[in-house]
Structure 1
Amino acid sequence: MSQTSLNAEQQHREKLILILAFALVISVMNSTMFNMAIPTITKEFNLQPSQAGWIVTGYIIVYAIGSVMYGKLADRYKLKNLISTGLIIFAVGSIIGFTAANFEMIVAGRVLQAIGASVMPATSMIIPARYFTLETRGRALGMTSAGMALGTALGPIVAGLVTSFISWHYLFIISLFALVTLPFFRKYLNDETPKENAKTDLIGAGLLAGTLALLLLAITGSSLLCAIVGALFLLLFVRRITSTKEPFVQATLFKNKNYTVAIIVSGLSSGIGFGIPYLTPLLLQGINGLSPILSGLIMFPSALLAAALGKKAGKIADIKGNNFLTYTALLSFFLGYSLLSFMAGLSPLIIMVVLIFACIGQTFIQIALANTVSRTLPAEQAGVGMGVFMMINFIAGATDTTLISKVLEIKHTTLHLNPFLQDQDSLNFSNIYAVLALFIIVVSLIYTSNFRKASKLKFHSKNIN
């Protein structure tokens, strides 16, 4: 291949990753915007926090299943056609949500949005894997993570403006900007030849979705019946993936110890990370009494800084390794949540500064663990393995959101995890942040015990060579 052709191919890949990053900005905004609107919707429809939480939780459950489903469908259909279908469904859900007159219609619109939007996390893993070499994949993942972080940064600001000055209904209209990327995806994606014999296990997907929904309903509604039926669905799902030739989730994946440990660490980290976009708006509006727009302004600088550093983090992962980036992220994570646990309820300006640590940790850990997980997989399992990786992250997020919303319903508690708490009115929030900080320590120990030794062996091997 000539140098001219190589340069053209490189430019082609760079344009594609920029389009993907923009699409991810809209996709992530669609999630974080509604976090800001939940307090307003809760008051408007007279909901409990655990009920309103389903605006986020329902979205995440479908998003999680869809991220794997689209990953599998990408082996059977052209990626550009899948993206087209997903974005159209996303648009239909946005229109339904915009016209919603009751809480049920809001949830229905969000679920349809999730069915369509879940094509994006699958695409964010497939494009770097198919179009970038192992040596440049960290930079590509850095760009996609920067897009996600920018979406996280812009979401609260946009949601605050729209909710304060117009109506939360218009958040659904903003999501329609994702359609702008459609013609560019169709232009720059190759016409891949799909595998004709690839199959999708819809029964397995349904059983997993049912398991998640029922178990989370058991938590929010304190329902023993939902817990029992959810456990039954889980048993049926396990039986399905161990007895079907082409299951929704390949049980053989988990025979790879490094992969299994990596997605456990990633799932825990992702669940911890959801404490930022979901819990913080509730703290700022419920305890500090800020409006949605002011809450967004407080959250904006930290998320914007994390977005700006996302590309640099990808380069760090390529140059210094995932371990260095992972430990940097975990330290930043821990500092952020530890400080929030005793500063909750204090001046919003203090919260704004502390959020910088938490947001940088969240962005860096996404890049580091995506790289770590991708390197534990053989080429033939990369697609499905990364799909499961994304799904586990979203499941962890849905679970964390549900648990947080349930804890926030506790009106009077004597549990005081952080003796240094300055504002007693924010005790529930302080306890949640303290628990998340403890989980970061657990994640660090698990990661160190399984990946530090491997890193040392690689470093020793390089020195010998």
Structure 2
Amino acid sequence: MGDPTPPDIMRKTHRPLTTLALATSLFMAALEVTVVSTAMPTVVGELGGIQSYAWVFTAYMLASTITVPIYGKLADLYGRKPVLLFGIGLFLVGSIASGLATSMGMLIAFRTLQGLGAGAIQPVALTIIGDLYTMQERARVQGAFSAVWGVAGLVGPVTGGLIVKYLSWHWIFFINVPVGVLTFALVVAFFHEQVERKPQQLDYAGAALLCAGVVALLVGVQGLGMNLWALPVALGLLWAFVAVERRAPAPVIPMSIFQSPAIAISSVAGALFSAAMFGATTYVPLYVQAVLGSTPTVAGGMITPMIVGWPLASVFAGKLLLRTGFRPLIVGGLGLTMVGTVLMTLLLVQGASLIALQVAMALFGVGLGFASTALLIAVQTSVGWELRGVATASNMFFRTIGGVLGVGLMGGVMVSQLMKDPSVPLSAANALLGPERGHAAIPEAMLKSLSGALTTGLNINFWLICAFSVAAFVSGLFFPRVSRNTNAPLSSDSAAAPH
């Protein structure tokens, strides 16, 4: 018989290179936040469709969010590797297709495809980290993965601005391709697992009801009066989802976990601060470029302090938990986000210092880093090992759903302001984001009216961001006293990621 040693060696996972692959996969997701936000005003200026501005973001987030629990189930059933590879492949196909889009409708459709792939990347990558490293080792790995988000936050706006200026906005999607191909190859070559088949099935009915309910809710929220019919439809679908989940043997989101006050309040607070965060990353660059007249690079640079401050603060939060407990970090962090968003709203005016605006965004990010880390680890501490995975996934789900609905609501506000004057065609608003030579084709009075309407809509959105931050802070005040388990991880791999 042959020597079994060589095949065994070949099938052994190479932890450092597998970890590198997971880091590059998360880097792709992190880069999407700043690069796309930086380029979107230019995209609208070229493709038109300012009325669909928010859908470029919400379609991506909605697709990635709803599929998170489904991919989690599939990873348990069929293994992490095939699910992660599928997600990376789908993400790359969506990226290439988005870069080739020639209309706003095509871009939204292909961003949805990209989001369907992204839904597998972050949760499965973080699950693999949990498989490969012990609790004690994860604290060290956390620092490296926090650095991934920090680097992406630094290079994203600059990269997006340079691409738009010297190449074309299409390349903001193509830059994912070499990173994705490298990641795919590393996972194939160096990550191996032995899958233990589990006798459980996907909750298809629950997943379908959840998807339909959230889409209907988004349509109703974004319609602002035009599609109010969707709100009762959404409530009916979500009620049916809860009823199905209570009876399902393997529910997408077990309703029983929300009997824990820590998990319930963390879900509410997470949804609220995510609405504020995604609103800021979506509309601050638009305001700085379209209203203040700055370049795409400067516009994207306004959100860099927030995206860098988040992971840096999350690392310190993990180290402070044993000293302070959860409540001080949660209340203090959410208080900082409230202060940061109030300052941001007051500073987003003509003639204001952009440096002061960046300081406000940094406060916002640092507060998010402290609060989000403490909230997530408190959730993980509140349940046993057998529920920790689903509790973590549910918390991430509510965070992103909050962001989707928040951005959708703000998109509806902006469009409603632009449509107030029936004599001004909505399509003319695209000229505000296009090159200056395009302004010449629009009468001066019309441009002035459009500019005023866009400014008003965005100012309302910034006060909505403040309202979400204040509500998150208030919900944090009700967070219960959760005992600190010294055997629990001091920091969370997923807490450092702004999603």
TM-score in terms of structure 2 length:
0.79
Deviation at 1:321, TM superposition (A): 4.1
Q: How does 1:191-230 map to 2 (within 5 A)?
A: 191-221=193-223, 222-230=226-234
The equivalent position to 2:384 in structure 1, one of 374, 378, 381, is 378
* Structure-2 change in CA distance of 1:120 and 1:280 (3 Å): same
Determine the C-alpha separation between the residues in 1 that align with 2:239 and 2:50: 31
Q: Which residue of 2 aligns with 1:351?
A: 357
Aligned AA (2:371): I
Aligned mates of 1:301, 1:19 — CA distance in 2: 26
1:450 to 473, 479, 488: 479
Report the equivalent of 2:411: 405
CA–CA distance in structure 1, aligned partners of residues 19 and 375 of structure 2: 19
Whether contact under 8 Å (2:149, 2:308) holds in the other structure is: no
- Tell me the CA shift for residue 17 of structure 1: 4.5
Q: Secondary structure at the match of 1:454?
A: coil
AA matched with 1:373: V
Q: Name stretches of at least 5 consecutive residues in structure 2 with no aligned partner.
A: 1-12, 419-451, 487-499
Which SS does the other structure have where 1:76 is aligned?
helix
The answer to whether the aligner puts 1:258 opposite 2:286 as a matched pair is: no
Distance 1:448-1:383 versus aligned 2 partners, 3 A rule: same
CA contact (8 A) 1:285 1:295 kept: yes
Amino acid at match of 1:411: Q
Cα distance in 2 for partners of 1:90, 1:435 equals: 31
- Secondary structure (helix, strand or coil) at the match of 2:48 reads coil
In the alignment, the residues of structure 2 paired with residue 309 and residue 161 of structure 1 have an alpha-carbon distance, to the nearest angstrom, of 28
- Structure showing greater radius of gyration is 2
Cα pair distance change 1:172/1:23, threshold 3 Å = same
Q: Deviations over 1:305-357 (max 9, x none)?
A: 54455434433346654444334422321221121121112232321222211
Structure 1 residues 156 and 203: CA distance shift in structure 2, 3 A: farther
Shift of 1:288: 1.0
Tell me which moved more, 221-230 or 261-270: 221-230
TM-score, scaled relative to structure 1 = 0.84
The CA distance in 2 between the partners of 1:240 and 1:273, in whole Å, is: 32
| Structure 1 Cα separation of the partners of residues 271 and 454 of structure 2 | 31
Matches of 2:313 and 2:21, distance apart in 1: 19
Is residue 20–residue 144 contact of structure 1 (8 Å, CA) maintained in 2? no
What is the DSSP-based 3-state SS (H/G/I as helix, E as strand, rest coil) of the residue aligned with 1:315? helix
* In 1: Cα distance, 2:194 partner to 2:291 partner: 52
Write the distance in 1 (CA, Å) between the matches of 2:214 and 2:150.
Answer: 26
| AA aligned opposite 2:93 | V
C-alpha displacement of 1:55: 0.7
Q: How far apart are 1:121 and its partner, in Å? A: 2.3
Q: What amino acid sits opposite 2:465 in the alignment? A: L
Q: Tell me how far 1:116 sits from its aligned partner.
A: 1.0
CA distance, structure 2, for counterparts of residue 122 and residue 304 of structure 1: 21
- Is the CA contact (8 Å cut-off) linking 1:121 and 1:390 kept in structure 2? no
Partner of 1:70: 71
Match of 1:44 among 43, 46, 61: 46
Could you tell me which residue of structure 1 aligns to residue 185 of structure 2? 183
- Identity in percent: 24
Q: CA deviation at 1:225?
A: 3.3
**Contact 1:150/1:307, CA 8 A, preserved across alignment:** no
Q: Could you tell me which amino acid in structure 1 is paired with residue 482 of structure 2?
A: A
Deviation at 1:153, TM superposition (A): 3.6
Q: Would the aligned equivalents of 2:312 and 2:366 in 1 still touch at CA under 8 Å?
A: no
Q: Say if 2:147 and 2:311, in contact at 8 Å, map to a contact too.
A: yes
Aligned-pair CA distance for 1:16: 4.7
RMSD: 3.0
In structure 1, distance between residues paired with 2:469 and 2:139 = 24
- Secondary structure in structure 1 of the residue aligned to 2:182: helix
Q: Deviations over 1:136-194 (max 9, x none)?
A: 54554454344334434433222222122222211111122223222333455451423
Choose which of 372, 386, 389 in structure 1 pairs with 2:395: 389
**Alpha-carbon offset, residue 273 of structure 1:** 1.7
2:175 counterpart SS class: helix
Distance in 2 (alpha carbons) for counterparts of 1:137 and 1:268: 28
What is the CA-CA distance between 1:241 and the residue it aligns to? 1.4
Out of 270, 273, 277, which is 1:269 matched to?
273
Residue segments in structure 1 that go unaligned for 5+ positions in a row = 1-10, 413-422, 460-465
Q: Deviations over 1:206-228 (max 9, x none)?
A: 22111111221123232133334
Deviates more, 1:427-436 or 1:246-255: 427-436
Write out per-residue CA displacement over residues 354-373 of structure 1, whole angstroms, 9 at most, x where no aligned residue. 22111222333332222122
SS at match of 2:417: coil
Distance (Å, rounded) in 1 between the aligned partners of 2:15 and 2:374? 22
Q: Which residue of 1 aligns with 2:101?
A: 100
Deviation at 1:302, TM superposition (A): 4.9
> CA separation of 1:303/1:225 partners in 2, compared to 1, >3 Å: closer, same or farther?
closer
Within 1, Cα distance between the matches of 2:303 and 2:479? Answer: 34
Aligned equivalents of 1:32, 1:209: Cα separation in 2: 26
Q: Tell me if structure 1 keeps the 8 A contact 2:15–2:132.
A: yes
Residues 13-62 of structure 1: per-residue CA shift (max 9 Å, x gap): 6665454333212112123322222222223233234x121110011111
Distance (whole Å) between structure 1 residues aligned to residue 365 and residue 175 of structure 2: 24
Equivalences, count: 437
Counterpart Cα distance in 1 of 2:198 and 2:344: 52
**How far apart, CA to CA, are the structure 1 residues paired with 2:468 and 2:104?**
33
Q: For residues 123 and 319 of structure 1, do their structure 2 counterparts lie closer, same or farther at Cα, with a shift above 3 Å needed?
A: farther
